[in-house]
Every structure is written in C-alpha cells, then in structure tokens.
Amino acid sequence: MADEMQEEIKKVAERIPGSSYVSLVGYDGITVAQHVIDATVDVSLCDAELSSIMLASREVRTSLNLGAEKELIWLTDNSFFIVHPVGEDYFMYACLKAKGSNPGVARIELNKAKEAIKKIIYPEG
C-alpha cells in the first residue's frame, strides 16, 4: 500500500513541468508519501505547515456551509501550491516553481492521482 502511494506521488511529480515536489499528507501534518525533485525548503516542515492551512480551510467551509472543498491554490513570490483533499483524512499537493511551471498540467495530474490514491486508502469507497 505504501509503495503504491509512493509510486503514484513520484509519477505525478515527474509529469508536472516546473515541479519542486509533490506530497501526500495527513491532516495531522504527518507526511505519508513525497517525491522531491528540487526543493529549497524543508519539505516535511512545509507538509506540516500546510496541514494547518487545510485545517483552517476545513473550519471555514464547515462554519459557512460551503460544501466540499475541491482545490486550494496558493501563490507566493517563490512557489505555486496546488492542494487537493483526498477524502476526509488526507490531502495531496504539488509545489511548483513560481516561474516556468505549468499549473494547468499540475491540476490535471493531481486530479487523476487523487482518484488513484483514494482507491488505495479507501478500497471500499
């Protein structure tokens, strides 16, 4: 199971132009799988910090009755993050370089991988 998830994350990271890394993370901040291509930050620390953002986002959408979260996009001077929830317990995201990356391809690849990861994590669902 862990090898399947790791392989899926690796494939996604390698298919996205300008990808720095891709991670699968629990909402508790613990990294489940990641593939680093060219990171300038501590990826595990970033995983933990992004879990805080995802938890806050969950609180807001729940309190405002906004429905299910599909995607979160966050752009900084140095990075472009595209985050997708995977069920209620996990999220996966791609960190792209702010320049020279392809967020459109990243969104497509994350959507495809999300479904594959869901089948691994939640085989009955």
What does DSSP assign to residue 22? E
Q: What angle do CA 19, 22, 27 make, to 5 degrees?
A: 145
- Spell out the domain ranges in the chain: 2-121
What pLDDT does 99 receive?
A: 85
Distance CA 15, CA 64 (A): 36
CATH of 2-121, one of 3.40.50.720, 3.20.20.10, 3.30.450.30, 3.40.50.2300: 3.30.450.30
What pLDDT does 113 receive?
A: 94
Q: How confident is the model at residue 2 (pLDDT cuts 50, 70, 90)?
A: confident
Closest to 84 in 3D by CA, of 3, 34, 7, 25: 25
Regarding beta strands 90-97 and 19-26, do their DSSP bridges make them parallel or antiparallel, or are they unpaired?
A: antiparallel
Q: Is the dihedral of CA 41, 47, 53, 57 positive or negative?
A: positive
User: In a 3-state reduction of DSSP, which class is residue 86?
Assistant: strand
Asked whether the predicted pLDDT for residue 1 surpasses 80, the reply is: no
Distance CA 11, CA 35 (A): 9
Q: What is the pTM of this model?
A: 0.92
Q: What percent of the chain shows pLDDT beyond 70?
A: 98
A 10 A CB-CB count for 88 gives: 9
What pLDDT does 40 receive?
A: 87
Distance CA 75, CA 68 (A): 22
pLDDT tens digits for range 42-86: 999 999 999 999 999 999 999 999 999 999 999 999 999 999 999
What pLDDT does 49 receive?
A: 96
Mean pLDDT of 81-96: 95
